[in-house]
Amino acid sequence: MDAAVKLELRTEAPLKGRTEGGGPDVSSFTLDNGLDVVVIPDHRVPVATHMVWYRNGSADDPLGQSGIAHFLEHLMFKGTEKHPAGEFSKVVSSLGGQENAFTSFDYTAYFQRIARENLKTMMEFEADRMSNLMLEEAVIAPERDVVLEERRMRVETDPSSQLSEAMAASLFLHHPYGIPIIGWMHEIEKLDRAHALDYYKRFYAPENAILVVAGDVTTDEVRRLADNTYGRVAPHGARPVRFRPREPEPVAARHLTVADPKVEQPTLQRLYLVPSSGTADGRDCHSLDLLAEVIGGGPTSYLYRKLVLERGLAVNAGAWYMASAMEETRFSVYAVPAQGVSLEQLEAALDETLKQMVAEALDFDAIERAKTRLVAESIYSTDSQSSLARIYGSALAIGETIEDVRRWPTEIEAVLKDDLASVAERFLLLRRSVTGYLKSAS
Amino acid sequence: MDAAVKLELRTEAPLKGRTEGGGPDVSSFTLDNGLDVVVIPDHRVPVATHMVWYRNGSADDPLGQSGIAHFLEHLMFKGTEKHPAGEFSKVVSSLGGQENAFTSFDYTAYFQRIARENLKTMMEFEADRMSNLMLEEAVIAPERDVVLEERRMRVETDPSSQLSEAMAASLFLHHPYGIPIIGWMHEIEKLDRAHALDYYKRFYAPENAILVVAGDVTTDEVRRLADNTYGRVAPHGARPVRFRPREPEPVAARHLTVADPKVEQPTLQRLYLVPSSGTADGRDCHSLDLLAEVIGGGPTSYLYRKLVLERGLAVNAGAWYMASAMEETRFSVYAVPAQGVSLEQLEAALDETLKQMVAEALDFDAIERAKTRLVAESIYSTDSQSSLARIYGSALAIGETIEDVRRWPTEIEAVLKDDLASVAERFLLLRRSVTGYLKSAS
């Protein structure tokens, strides 16, 4: 599907918004077979967003089978006994709906947006493919070719994606977050029906899934519909175990270069290994979120001001933090050099700027403005039904709670200047980092 | 044991010697339970070298249990029902013998050198611990502390080892050769009795072992003794499966720095990802072996001549190649800067020198001299009984044959200048490399 592996292929920040404290009246319950259900009422228009999230992503791919989570996402469109390949998509489209699916490091999700009266039909189809996928031999090789072509187009021929992959692989010495979501080419090539079947049987279970319905629905209605569709899927007896190794403490600053004749605009990127929502102590995760906004959130941020406006060394500069992750994650700073400025010069300037960050960037006004921007962004995001569904679905899929999501703006407001200085001093260290140059081949 | 994780903790070349074509009259056979036996007659002195090699090393450690192969090596000295902890070692020592054990990426081996009449006793002890290890709860935690202390002493407090670990972790993006043999600290800390027992039951099997006896023995005698000792160990039914993921094609030159106040002598190292004896096509492996000797084998080699003697930029320079490995492996060049020369200057000079290598280093005389040195080295190594045993044991443990070992000098002699140029041009590419700086913290 189109949106697959998006997280990996862009260098901008991932989805940031959360709901403000006074957000929608979200409810949740669990079916007898273990399926978790979240209902997010939104009665403004007579539509519904229907998503199923599975608690397995590329970081759960068995060793040597990188890409299997994403391959399975493709294969989920290849038909069940009841519904041949393509029928589900045709129905969605004939009803004027939209659909999509995506695979990330920690989860895989399937999505439709339809008129509210068609919700039951979506549930029937989605529940059906939760346990009745055919996975015929005949569909495997052609779909694998589709994925291989996807990788060729998105990575092999795109130096910027190659840099992202190389940087992640260097940042994560041990954890599978260093393996591309789409998989390594030579391992995708070997994925076969047996791998897909094993994977499907292991992870596609009601206990491992979260149904999120946002829209013009009531909790009772969703419960009744879910019972009659998903409720009939046999439980596996237990949620599948996901094992993730932990990263060793980083000791060496790393640096790498991708040089390619296709590169027209050189860029400088840096990743730091930092705690995530799943691993951070105390206020660290919220502090990192706010720090990224203060130093790198748009044209009023510290890095942009220093490198672009004051010194004229860059045409763009910023920072982002991938907060939502089960294990240690990425904090990034980046800059695009102005004409005539080398990446080496720009990196030196970036490092000087970062050295002065605690003294210069963390003033009260800048922090307050960043809080306002972040919280406003999270309020705007609640305006979109599908954003809301994604926010709750992704949070639950990585082990957070509805309460975590609701509390997010309050937690951001509570971050103090000292918290920002503290995370900067503990985590934005060169030995925790990988610096990447993208440049034209000489 | 003392020699554990040696391969990892030094930057010099690993054991290079092989036996010349006309070497010892090596014979081999397999016991009914699947144990492979190699006998290497050496009647010069009435001693025998007794080794057991297991076809499992750190690269077979289960995910999240790095260090378990090496931990098991330690635990193998902790006693069986018949022989309490320490008894085996005491007997070896009371007989005037020597013993050791070591863990590498691809194998684990146990070694004794004793008077020939004590061979049977060694076999009894070694066969006993192949299947009767007690692994009592009481020995686990104290021995784990020993290993943790070993890691603290050898790695955590040694910047040069930290650099080696960081470079390997950056060279191998996917393959477990990037994980330290001794394991990551945080994973060693979690190793428990259940892990050790699972590991022992999986890998310590006659089918998975190779007995190598070198010394004043005959094949018939070894066969009879082996039948009466190892022959009684129950087979597991099949050799355990070792699964190794393959590396993706490297796309980005990597660079990293370990800076520590303890560093007195900065060094520059580079690793390239290259084929090994297990993966190389045609003559590539032998060509890389010879190339390392031509460009970096001692004070007459190309790199030493250029960087130390002609330009005075370095006080040492060289190259090595870790040929023996099941999957893709390391080719290294290194240099130690002269007083007042920065690592950056030295790296630039190294790269210039390497660029001219095909044109300047590969002259007929230099190649012939390198062949002579390599082959002579391999002949010298056959003079040592324990080297001989190690050469055959390690070769068989990674899937090579006795014939591969015997043919090695002939294959080295057959390498042509064009072969050297070809491997240099295909494999010594910056995008396949990690460059490491070890320097004093500023």
A93-105 average pLDDT score = 94
Instruction: Record the tokens describing residue A328, joined without a space.
Output: 């240690």
The β-bridge partners of B50 are B112, B213
Instruction: Report CB contact under 8 Å: A256, B254.
Output: yes
**Residue from B251, B260, B327, B439 whose CB has the most chain A CBs within 10 Å, to mutate:** B251
Nearest CA among B109, B73, B81, B77 for reference residue B91: B77
- Are the beta carbons of B163 and B9 closer than 8 angstroms? no
* 3-state SS, residue B134: coil
**Over chain B, what is the mean pLDDT?**
93
Which pTM value belongs to this model? 0.88
Please determine, for residue A265, whether its predicted confidence score (pLDDT) is greater than 90. yes
Alpha carbon distance B26, B392 (integer Å):
9
- Are the beta carbons of B243 and B62 closer than 8 angstroms? no
Instruction: Record the tokens describing residue A42, joined without a space.
Output: 């939104």
The β-bridge partners of B359 are none
Helices in B216-342 by DSSP H: which ranges? 219-228, 284-296, 302-303
SS percent in chain A: helix, strand, coil, step 5: 45, 20, 35
Per-residue pLDDT, B15: 40
Instruction: Record the tokens describing residue B93, joined without a space.
Output: 């020592």
Q: What pLDDT band is residue A22 in, cutting at 50, 70 and 90?
A: low
Instruction: Record the tokens describing residue B208, joined without a space.
Output: 């998975």
DSSP state of B250: P
Known catalytic residue at B73: yes
Beta strands per DSSP E along A129-180 = none
For residue B166, list chain A residues with Cβ-Cβ distance below 8 A.
173, 251-252, 254
Closest CA in chain A for residue B179: A174
Residue given tokens 């695009």 in the structure block:
A336
Q: What pLDDT band is residue B182 in, cutting at 50, 70 and 90?
A: very high
Would you tell me how many other CB atoms lie within 10 Å of the CB of residue A21?
11
**Residue from B151, B167, B170, B328 whose CB has the most chain A CBs within 10 Å, to mutate:** B170
What percent of chain B has pLDDT above 70?
Answer: 95
Instruction: Record the tokens describing residue B184, joined without a space.
Output: 């990551």
Q: What pLDDT band is residue B16 in, cutting at 50, 70 and 90?
A: very low
A8, A73, A126, A327: the active-site residue: A73
Instruction: Report CB contact under 8 Å: B173, A170.
Output: yes
Per-residue pLDDT, A327: 97
Residue given tokens 């130096």 in the structure block:
A159
- What confidence tens digit (pLDDT) does each residue in B230-244 have? 999 999 999 999 999
Per-residue pLDDT, B442: 63
- Are the beta carbons of A358 and A424 closer than 8 angstroms? yes
Please determine, for residue A48, whether its predicted confidence score (pLDDT) is greater than 50. yes
Strand ranges of the sheet holding B209-215, from the earlier edge strand across to the other edge: B27-30, B36-41, B209-215, B47-54, B108-115, B98-103
Which of A63, A162, A251 shows the shortest C-beta gap to B243? Answer: A63
Per-residue pLDDT, B93: 92
B96-124 average pLDDT score = 96
- Are the beta carbons of B77 and B85 closer than 8 angstroms? yes
The alpha-carbon gap from A293 to the nearest alpha carbon of chain B, in Å, equals 28
Please determine, for residue B308, whether its predicted confidence score (pLDDT) is greater than 70. yes
Q: What pLDDT band is residue A177 in, cutting at 50, 70 and 90?
A: very high
Please determine, for residue B394, whether its predicted confidence score (pLDDT) is greater than 50. yes
Q: How many residue pairs bridge chain A and chain B with CB atoms within 8 Å of each other?
A: 94
Per-residue pLDDT, A381: 82
- What confidence tens digit (pLDDT) does each residue in B32-44 have? 999 999 999 999 9
The sign of the dihedral angle between the CA atoms of B403, B409, B413, B416 is positive
Alpha carbon distance A46, A23 (integer Å):
19
Alpha carbon distance B256, A255 (integer Å):
6
- What confidence tens digit (pLDDT) does each residue in A356-414 have? 999 999 999 999 999 999 999 888 888 889 999 999 999 999 999 999 999 999 999 99
Distances from the Cα of A292 to the Cα of A256, B27, B53, angstroms: 23, 66, 53
- Amino acid identity for residue A109 in this structure: A
Please determine, for residue B12, whether its predicted confidence score (pLDDT) is greater than 80. no
- What confidence tens digit (pLDDT) does each residue in A418-434 have? 999 999 999 999 999 99
Alpha carbon distance A359, A356 (integer Å):
5
- Chain B residues within 8 angstroms (CB to CB) of chain A: 63-64, 66, 162-163, 165-167, 169-170, 173-174, 178-179, 184-187, 243-246, 248-249, 251-258, 436
- Reported ipTM: 0.80
Instruction: Record the tokens describing residue A26, joined without a space.
Output: 């979200």
Please determine, for residue B145, whether its predicted confidence score (pLDDT) is greater than 70. yes
Helix (H) or strand (E) holding A270: strand A267-274
Instruction: Record the tokens describing residue B303, joined without a space.
Output: 């790199």
B8, B12, B20, B73: the active-site residue: B73
Alpha carbon distance B87, B95 (integer Å):
12
DSSP state of A336: E
Per-residue pLDDT, A441: 85
- Are the beta carbons of B62 and B68 closer than 8 angstroms? yes
B365-369 average pLDDT score = 95
Which of B174, B178, B255 shows the shortest C-beta gap to A255? Answer: B255
The alpha-carbon gap from A175 to the nearest alpha carbon of chain B, in Å, equals 9
Instruction: Record the tokens describing residue A270, joined without a space.
Output: 């840096």
Which of B63, B167, B173 shows the shortest C-beta gap to A178? Answer: B173
Q: What pLDDT band is residue B383 in, cutting at 50, 70 and 90?
A: confident
A4-8 average pLDDT score = 35
What angle in degrees, to the nearest 10, is found between the helix axes of A193-203 and A137-151? 90
Alpha carbon distance A141, A145 (integer Å):
6
- What confidence tens digit (pLDDT) does each residue in A284-308 have? 999 999 999 999 999 999 999 999 9
Distances from the Cα of B73 to the Cα of A49, A85, B110, angstroms: 56, 53, 8
Number of Cα atoms under 13 Å in the Cβ half of residue A4: 25
Specify the range with the lowest mean pLDDT, choosing from A434-438, B144-148, B242-246, B376-380.
B376-380
